[in-house]
Amino acid sequence: MKLTREEVLHIARLARVALTEAEITRMSEQLSDLLEHFEVLQKVNTDNVPPTAQSVNLESVMRGEDIKPSLSPGDVMANAPRREGDYFRVKPVLE
């Protein structure tokens, strides 16, 4: 399917892209080639292919949750440089 100059300009306007004359010619050729590829794909028989949203099976990449006992407050605070009760003491960020 060969695109006309006007169709390329319309597409460029929709995309809010300014094109020079050389770019219009090049885009006309490239977009026409792209549409020809889609025409070939439209000829493929997909009658027995079920519709799908994914081409491959999805699998979780998250690791499983291992439940472990928590540290005691004394163990947590053992290496704190400054502490105030059961809390870490830090320098103020905003005064």
Full pLDDT tens readout for the chain, 95 residues: 789 999 999 999 999 999 999 999 999 999 999 999 999 999 999 888 888 877 788 888 888 888 999 988 888 888 888 888 888 888 888 87
**Closest to 3 in 3D by CA, of 30, 38, 23:** 30
User: What's the CATH fold of domain 5-42?
Assistant: Histone, subunit A (1.10.20)
Beta bridge partners of 87: 84
Does this model's pTM top 0.85? My answer is: no
Alpha-carbon span 55 to 12, nearest angstrom: 31
Residue with tokens 């799908």: 52
